[in-house]
Structure 1
Amino acid sequence: MNREVKKFHAFAFVIAVITFAIIISIFPLRIWNDIRTEVGGGTENGCTQGIDSTHDAIQDFVAQYDRIDSISVHVNELTKGRYMHITFWDVDNWRVMYEETIDLAAKELPGYVDIPLGLDLEVGGNYRIIFTVWHATYVLGTESVEGSTNPAIGAFYYQDTMVEESHLLAKYNYKVPMAKTMSLTLMIMVFMIGCALTGVTRTLCKEARNQYITIGRVCQYVLNPIVILIYAVLAVMVFPLKTFDDRAADICFYELGLILAFITAIYVINHKRKDSIVTVLKSCDLASDKKGFLGNMPLFDKVMSCIQMVFIALSLVYAAQYMNDLYDIYHSISERQMVLCLLLVTVCFQSKKELISLQNIVLTIIGAASGFYYYHQNKLPVSEKEYDLHNLILKLTIAIVVVAAILLADYIRYLFRLVTKKAVRSSASITIYGIFVIVFFACLIILRNTRWWGVVLALVFAVMYIRMNSADRSAHWNTIATGGLILNIIYTIGYCLLFRYFTGFVMGRYSMQFHTVTVTAEYLTIMQVMAAALLLAKVASGSKISGLKDFIAYVFKEMILFGVISAYMIFTLSRTGYLAAIVTIIVLILMVALREGRDAGKTLLRGVLVCIVSVVIAFPMTFTLQRIIPVMVGHPYFYEVEDAAPSARGGRDFDDYKYMSVERFYSLFRQKILGVSATEYNFVDDPYNYDENGNYLYDEDGNPVTGEVIGYHMGTDADMCADSYIDKMSGDDGAGRLIASGTDGMYVAEAAIVVGSENSDVQDDSSFEEGDEAFDDSEEGEENAEAVDDYSNGRIDIWKVYIKELNLTGHDEMGAVAEDGELLAHAHNVYIQVAYDHGIIAGILFGFLIVAGIAFSGVYYFRNKGSFAAAVPFAVITGFAIAGLTEWNFQLCNPMTVALMLLLPVIMFKRRKKDI
């Protein structure tokens, strides 16, 4: 950052990058959009009868483009009450995509009322918008079918009866990319402006006295204004515009989060990197600081190491995809994608000479040609069911075979060169621990008991370990594997900030890129302890730095990484994740402090304080950004079995109360982590329907009422409800108010109310928060009402069943059957599960590998003081071990297993020289 370059070259490069980014955003990315409005084309011919509690209106249409921004419907009159309720249906898949409550009293009527949607559609798909009421009565305009010019507008219904002569009088506003002519014009204009700015820059730089500038100063000139502008815009949107929420607590918290994010960004850009820090580091004899990233590797080896990091990150992406897949065919795809990435990691161990050798070139050409021929001979025709998925599996299988052939030929060549003494034997020798790993792999293969994933795991990683042992770069494997983990978590956080909403109902616990909180907690355990190991290593190595500013400048990157990952772990509200991460981090702090000898006390105190400060700063920052950025992007991704309140699924309504809020998160934290009753959540989408005590002001049709009203309005969709709740509105404190609107019983958790009232008939909504966990019977499942404080969630009983069925050879079926005939999907304990699947001997061996792995990795840490990543293997194995006490986390495509297998080679081989 302190390297000097010519001012003109620096600013010309910046202008070129910005110009290029804007041009590709126009095309081919096509980020900028236009609104294209489609109408039925008929003439206005009147209006409907009143839409009330017993009469609805339905309009079908066919999607003409892939994203609908809004629908503007003509409302002729608001007869009674205030609110119109709409439900948007995907007819082909028969599911609710979105719900919204519109305050008609705030609109100018008669006229068009805009219904914000922001939904991604399937072109040619059939969709339906249903108009109901929310304690109101209103009238909609219609247009004639005769003369209609748009065949995409389908049937119109009033109270389930088709109206033959009319359509709804409405405008369908689609968001489409800009026209090609406009795009080309803007691209030319941007290019010309860039050229003009470059010319002006050349003139200004010629007149400047000092024609050189540091790269750091250039970054400051460019990035500071961008950060200030982004912060100012977001801060104003939070308040006074109240774009995301109108509650004081949330506004204050979001402003706090934004100011912390702003300060962090400004510090990252502008902080000074002082020479005193470099002097201290050199005195610590840290090889990585004296030699730079990946030590003194040749450029080719560094490039290949970076490529390996990318493939490691991708393998974890596909492992996460596997965990989310619901059908075997998708599992087959994800599994092959992950295996292919791991094999490519192994290929990248080849040297420059080996990689571009005649042997590899010939095998690649023959393999590609043979694979092409085999694919076209065996691919399924278009007429077959799921032909595209089966053909993708075939492609991936062929690719795996070709890569495996290259690796096999490479290893045969290596053995031949060893025999002929043309190759030097590896400097690494296998340890006792490595031998036990090999024996365990053999057990997975021999005692597979119908499970082929164990065979694949053993073969893929065995091939990797063998090739790694003969590679010059294997001494840096710990750094490479850690870099791959970091790349993956950065990608995951970026993906979540763009596409994963932070909702408070129905599932209030954040699951990141998974559809179950359990797997999220397992994944984050690995990432959090990895980040803690890096942070604590930095804290320890910087013990000689006395100045606070210098110390912060030294550790801030690791602080940000650890703090943000910790914030996401807190969002999961997973006791298993909390336990595994906290215990591992405490052990890490003690171990790091112990290695520092006389500075142990200072390191211990600094380590604890830095971890706490990191979380305290990062939590409000991460909470705020995760809450507001995805809704601004407006392209949420929801998994098939993932449940969220329909009103929190669109891309236009930023301030819906179904998104996560400070009060809602506090309530969930009390309930799930502290075991205390959840707090009230008295915030409704239709506030003008209630008085200050929570009593209804209007009946179901919008007629004013007086006195106490009992009941929960179900609207015209009552026939779809699986459940309903009735609450007596009583008490001056409004304890019985409905907390949210919603008509579909699937989302009845929205209307779950009082949790502190002794006489309440309304069920606490805690059980509904676990909706996505019902598929794997995980820790997040429904708690026994008679044992609320039993944190085992029935695991002890499950363990007893599994232990009773243990034998020496294992079982073909994974699940054990309880005495009452219930099939227990898995043991909720990885050690018992391995013993049940592969036999007691394999289970004992697996337990030994984990326990011994903790010990060996601890020794590795103490022997490799020159590596910041030296504690990562210990952290990951320990985190895996603790999480495995209550979860099944050993499977080919489980992210915890992938991370574990990637880091085992660090302690499987012993080298003559110190690892880096």
Structure 2
Amino acid sequence: MVISVIYLPMREKDNRGITMKKIVYKSRAIQAVILIVAACLLVSLWPLRIWHETVSTEVIPQGEIFSEVVDEEKTILQEIVAQYNHMDTIDVYLDENSHGETFFLRILDEQWQMVCEEETAILPENLPGFQEVVIDVDMEVGKTYFVILQGDESEIFSGWGPVPAENTPYMGMLYYADSSQEGMSLMARYNYSMPLRKTWVFGLGVLIVGITAFAILGVRLWYKKKEDKLTTVEKVFKRVMNPIVAAGVLICIGAVLAGYCGNYLLDNTVYFVSVVLLALILFYSINHDRVGQPPIFTRDYLKSHLGDLIQSVAIAGAVAGCCEYMSGLYDIHHTVAERKEMLWFSLAVLAMFKWKEIVNAYNLIYLGAAGLCGYHYYQMNLTEEMDELAVQALKYTVWIAILLGLIVIRTLIRLCKRKLTRVSYVYAALITVFFALIIIFRNGRWWSVALAVAFGLFYLNYGMWEHKERIFVNIARGIIIQFMWSTGYALLHRPYVTFRNARYTHIFHTVTITASYLTIVECATAVILLSKLRKSRKLKDCYKELVLFGVVSSYMLFTMSRTAFLAVGITVLFAIGMMAGGRKLKFLKNYGKNLGMLLLSVAVCLPVTFTVQRNIPALVSDPFLYEIEYSMYCPEDVMRGRRLWSKNFMRVGRFIDVFAEKIFSIPEGTFDIYGEIEEYERTHKDRIKAEIPDEAEDESRALEIADNVELVASTDYVPEGVPKEALKDEDYTNGRLDIFKSYLEQLNMTGHEEMGAVLKNGEIATHAHNIYLQVAYDHGIPVGIFFILLGIGTFIRSCLYYRREKDKITYASFPAVVSVAVAVAGMVEWIFHLSNPCGLVLMLAVTPLIFRES
């Protein structure tokens, strides 16, 4: 808005809005840049609050200072109360008698659970004096914590002494060698890191506004005395962004060459190449020729496509709800995620309404009555025993019910007015019968009812929508929006760890879920890219789509999932063939060129994506772990401390080693050029043995575990009930064949209430790892057969749809590509469910197939 005000209008009428070719006065351009910079600085102050300050609390004894030896037997424990949310470092005083190499500082919470453990080097040149210990942990203000000092084959002498309680209310009892020291406190400085306080934010904000106003006024006065020449937005953009990118590239290269990310030659070589490749991508995106390229978003576009953008965001939210469901560990997590998904899905349906169909008298009356009923229902079902998630689920239920009523009213009115377009009776009948079957034979399941109702309403409203040709763009854009959002989260909070998850799990807690999710994202990116390549193979026209495809493919490669590679490989090869165009020799040329460009995009983006995902989470140092991910395999220097050079973050050699073992069955360790595996196993065996309990039985068990330490990343996913011994014969299905046999033996005509079949060893499987078997097991053999026929019919119908509509509908190949991906991936994974991203996108993709007209 600010920029549009200061731009001068063009000499000729331009209804496209602000474009890169728009002509402006130089003074206005400079003022615009100043305003943008000022806006970014203000937003960084608030609400982002990315600037921090250090608040230190120094504890200096008043009187005689005592100092006793601290070693492995005699420790110091200081009780403290957290004053702020994040402790950055603790400076501990050591006197000149301290000797040895390192000492430990540990922090425990109120339940005596380990918060952090830091092994710190003793620096003789700093003795006597304060030694900095990196903490970098979040704390709860007002909660009690315990700071423990202990030697590590060393002896340190730390000072303590009397400190008046009224001066340090945040200090508790001090213990030395298990003996309390009344009135004493440890001599130390506690350094907290926190966002700038309100006074600083306000003061700096006023300063920024003042400097901005002064600068704008100065530019105006300067150009009153000097000729104000014309320029273009594109030139201004280049002059601003090129120096910024150049400075960032130089900083990154300097950090790599200085060994800030480690001292391994292979790693640093890849990092250096990655920085150069990223620089080339950024400089090209800034400086490439834009002649003939229309602007992506203009005022006119936003005005006429606001509903489409809302629908894309809503679809992104629904996919995010599916992802949350797949990552849920408990039933309440699934309950909340399902409701989030359906709430966003309701908005995706509402986005097809006209404005006057939402804002009118009868809707206002309905919303008033529904709001009162919903509030009454909420109050009637709200209890004191409900936790936060249960209350959240209840709120979402009320909102979904209100929106459902709004959608049903509009749908019935439009149907009565006969606004529904012509239906493809055969395919519509297949969908309708399938919905009826999974409801009749639901066997206690309600997600099948929700699926039928939700998509039934979506299909009907699509059939009465005036912009049917936009549906695939909205779906694909929604998938990409969600992927970009989730990848941004992964870059901030999901570290890529050498041994904990060498097979990277993105925002999920298992590789299997990650691979199935990325399969559907890969479908969207492939369709977007190949649709662009049908029109032009000029780099300036398709570089953004190439980068997007390369990044998604890189994350897919990080999973090292053979089943996902198979599904994606078949799907992409099919998509290239479908969209290559031409006949005979021309077809082969088009196919080869498109395939080559896709492979090249992956080759360029893989090292860049690896470097970014490996290093940014380490810099941010705010990792998120799922409950089942907490284990001894997640080292301290990954969880905190911003140690980019740590061997526990993913290394290039480790990636190659695991990838070769998983994909090509080359024995693990073949490419372990730095001997990391041997070192890892040795240190973890020592750690397990050091924590052996006193009981003989537990000791023998711990010794057995220690002697059989395996790398978490090196073990494939093992389905329930399949012993690891059964996988040693290079079973590429990871025991799935045994599960398939159990499900086949227990199929019946009406289905089962539980989705897990009884395996040979008596265990209950979680699911069949196959959508065809799972549907037949859940709903009965006839429904399973019908499901297969529906899949075949969907594929045929989608191919005919593409042949007829490819020149009229953007991304017309989307249903065919998605149906192939789900069909192949569904042979080895359970992905057909209302709250699975693959199932949701498949049901969205088939929407236009139900109707005859575009």
Same fold (TM over 0.5): yes
Aligned residue for 1:264? Answer: 281
The separation in 2 between residues aligned to 1:883 and 1:785, in whole angstroms, is 23
1:223 Cα shift?
Answer: 1.8
Inter-partner Cα distance in structure 2 for 1:110 and 1:592: 73
Q: Counterpart of 2:753? A: 812
| 8 Å contact from structure 1 (residues 96, 646) kept in 2 | no
Distance in 2, Cα, partners of 1:502 & 1:431: 50
> What is the RMSD computed on CA atoms of the aligned residues?
3.5
In structure 2, give the amino acid aligned to 1:541: K
Q: CA deviation at 1:664?
A: 1.8
Q: Quote the offset at 1:594 in angstroms.
A: 5.1
Partner residue in 1 for 2:657: 667
The separation in 1 between residues aligned to 2:427 and 2:674, in whole angstroms, is 58
Give, in angstroms, the shift of residue 232 of structure 1. Answer: 1.9
- Which residue number corresponds to residue 819 of structure 2? 877
Question: Which structure would you say has the larger RCO, counting Cα contacts within 8 Å and 6 or more residues apart?
Answer: 1
**Partner residue in 2 for 1:906:** 848
Aligned to 2:325: 322
Which residue is equivalent to 1:34? 53
CA contact (8 A) 1:80 1:138 kept: yes
Structure 2 partner of 1:656: 646
CA distance 1:162–1:830, shift in 2 (3 Å): farther
Counterpart position of 2:409? 409
The alpha-carbon deviation at position 134 of structure 1 amounts to: 4.7
Could you tell me how far 1:856 is from its partner in structure 2?
Answer: 2.2
Aligned to 1:486: 480
Q: CA–CA distance in 2 between the matches of 1:501 and 1:389? A: 27
Cα drift, residue 372 of structure 1: 3.1
**How far is the alpha carbon of 1:416 from its aligned partner?**
3.0
User: Which secondary structure state, in structure 1, belongs to the residue aligned with residue 95 of structure 2?
Assistant: strand
CA contact (8 A) 1:478 1:906 kept: no
* Counterpart contact for 2:90–2:132, Cα < 8 Å: yes
CA distance in 2, matches of 1:352, 1:141: 72
CA contact (8 A) 2:165 2:183 kept: no
What is the DSSP-based 3-state SS (H/G/I as helix, E as strand, rest coil) of the residue aligned with 1:529? helix
Cα pair 1:133 1:715 within 8 Å, conserved: no
Aligned partners of 2:107 and 2:116 also within 8 Å: yes
Matching of residues 822-861 of structure 1 within 5 Å:
822-861=763-802
- Unpaired runs of 5+ in structure 1? 279-288, 419-424, 544-550, 697-709, 727-744, 753-761
Q: How is 1:201-350 mapped onto 2 (pairs within 5 angstroms)?
A: 201-203=219-221, 211-240=229-258, 242-275=259-292, 300-350=303-353
Question: Secondary structure, in 3 states, of the residue corresponding to 2:502?
Answer: coil
In structure 2, what is the Cα distance between the partners aligned to 1:174 and 1:897?
A: 47
The aligned amino acid for 1:246 is N
Aligned equivalents of 2:139, 2:406: Cα separation in 1: 44
SS class of match (1:254): helix
> What is the CA–CA distance in structure 2 between the aligned matches of 1:319 and 1:454, rounded to whole Å?
15
Q: Which amino acid aligns with 1:892?
A: L
Contact 1:506 1:769 in 2 (8 A): no
- Structure 1 residues 113 and 906: CA distance shift in structure 2, 3 A: farther
Distance in 2 separating the partners of 1:902 and 1:294: 25
| Superposition map of 1:91-490 within 5 A | 91-92=110-111, 95-105=113-123, 108-144=126-162, 147=165, 149-158=167-176, 166-203=184-221, 211-240=229-258, 242-275=259-292, 300-380=303-383, 384-418=384-418, 425-490=419-484
CA distance in 2, matches of 1:321, 1:198: 47
Answer yes or no: is 1:587 the counterpart of 2:574: yes
In structure 1, what residue type is equivalent to 2:469? A
Task: Name the SS of the counterpart of 2:84 in structure 1.
Answer: coil
Whole-angstrom distance in 1 between the partners of 2:608 and 2:713: 28
Q: Which amino acid aligns with 2:797?
A: F
CA offset at residue 885 of structure 1? 0.9
1:50 maps to 70
Tell me, what secondary structure is at the counterpart of 1:411? Answer: helix
Aligned to 2:542: 555
Distance 1:77 1:612, change over 3 A: farther
Q: What residue is the counterpart of 1:705 in the other structure?
A: none
Match of 2:17 in 1: none
The answer to whether the 8 A contact 2:726-2:735 is kept is: no
Question: Conserved in 2, the CA contact under 8 Å of 1:521 and 1:577?
Answer: yes
Counterpart in 1 of 2:604? 617
Change (3 A) 1:297 1:504: same
The 2-side partners of 1:720 and 1:309 are apart by 59
Q: Secondary structure at the match of 1:558?
A: helix
d(CA) in 2 for partners of 1:347, 1:82:
66
Q: Which residue of 1 aligns with 2:617?
A: 630
> What is the aligned partner in structure 2 of residue 71 from structure 1?
90
Equivalents in 1 of 2:849, 2:663: separation in Å? Answer: 36
Deviation at residue 506 of structure 1 after TM alignment = 2.2
Change (3 A) 1:395 1:581: same
1:759 matched residue in structure 2:
none
Structure 1: distance between partners of 2:676 and 2:741: 46
Contact kept, 8 Å, 1:117 with 1:653, in 2: the verdict is: no
Query: Aligned pair 1:513/2:458, yes or no?
Result: no
Report the secondary structure of 1:118's partner residue.
Answer: strand
Moved more, 117-126 or 633-642: 117-126
Question: Does structure 2 conserve the Cα–Cα contact (< 8 Å) formed by 1:116 and 1:652?
Answer: no
The SS at the match of 1:910 is: coil
- Once residues 790 and 177 of structure 2 are traced to their aligned partners in structure 1, the CA distance between those partners, rounded to angstroms, is 66
Q: Deviations over 1:362-390 (max 9, x none)?
A: 3223323433344344433xxx2344333
Report the 3-state secondary structure (helix = DSSP H, G, I; strand = E; otherwise coil) of the residue aligned with 2:54: strand
TM, length-normalised to structure 1: 0.83
Is 2:99–2:122's contact at 8 Å kept on the other side of the alignment? no
- Are the equivalent residues in 2 in contact too, given 1:500–1:636 (CA < 8 A)? yes
**What is the TM-score when the length of structure 2 is the normalising length?**
0.89
Structure 1 CA distance for aligned equivalents of residues 117 and 814 of structure 2: 46
Between Structure 1 and Structure 2, how many residues are aligned? 827
**AA partner of residue 662 (structure 1):** V
Deviates more, 1:668-677 or 1:455-464: 668-677
Is the deviation greater in 119-128 or in 639-648? 119-128
CA deviations on 1:9-36 (whole Å, 9 max, x unpaired) are 4433332222122112213332211111
Inter-CA distance 664–3: structure 2 relative to 1 (3 Å threshold): same
- Which residue of the partner structure matches residue 735 of structure 1? none
- Secondary structure of 1:677's counterpart equals coil
Tell me by how many angstroms 1:82 deviates: 1.5
Going from structure 1 to structure 2, the CA distance change for 1:338 and 1:711 (only over 3 Å counts) comes to closer
Instruction: Return closer, same or farther for 1:402/1:711 CA change in 2, 3 Å cut-off.
Output: closer
TM-aligned CA deviation for residue 428 of structure 1: 3.9
Which of 675, 700, 710 is matched with 1:765 structurally? 710
Structure 2 counterpart of 1:801, which letter?
S
Question: 2-side partners of 1:837 and 1:711: how far apart?
Answer: 44
Percent of aligned positions with the same letter in both sequences?
A: 31
Q: Relative to structure 2, which stretch is displaced further, 649-658 or 203-212?
A: 203-212
The 8 Å contact of residues 156 and 167 in structure 1, kept in 2 or not, is answered as yes
Question: Structure 2 vs 1, CA of residues 578 and 208 (structure 1 numbering), >3 Å: closer, same or farther?
Answer: farther
- 1-side partners of 2:573 and 2:659: how far apart? 22
Distance 2:58 2:309 in 1: 53
When structure 1 is superposed on structure 2, of 633-642 and 485-494 the one drifting more is: 633-642
Measured in 2, the distance between the counterparts of 1:443 and 1:361 equals 37
Letter in 1 for 2:830: W
Tell me the CA shift for residue 812 of structure 1.
0.6
Query: Do the aligned partners of 2:82 and 2:142 also contact (CA within 8 Å) in 1?
Result: yes
Question: How far apart are 1:786 and its partner, in Å?
Answer: 5.8
Contact preservation (8 Å) 1:294, 1:479: no
Determine which of 492, 499, 507 is the counterpart of 1:498.
492
Rounded to whole Å, the distance in 2 between the matches of 1:299 and 1:600 is 38
Q: Deviations over 1:193-244 (max 9, x none)?
A: 211222233345567767433222222122222222222222222222x222
Unaligned 5+ residue runs, structure 2? Answer: 1-19
Q: 2:534 touches 2:581 (CA, 8 Å); kept in 1?
A: no
* Cα deviations by residue, 1:669-694 (Å, 9 ceiling, x for unpaired): 12222222222475789x9xx9xxx9
CA distance in 2, matches of 1:153, 1:813: 55
Query: Offset of 1:7 from its aligned partner?
Result: 3.5
2:817 aligned with 1:896: no
User: Are residues 198 and 791 of structure 1, via their aligned partners in 2, closer, same or farther at CA, if it must alter by over 3 Å?
Assistant: same
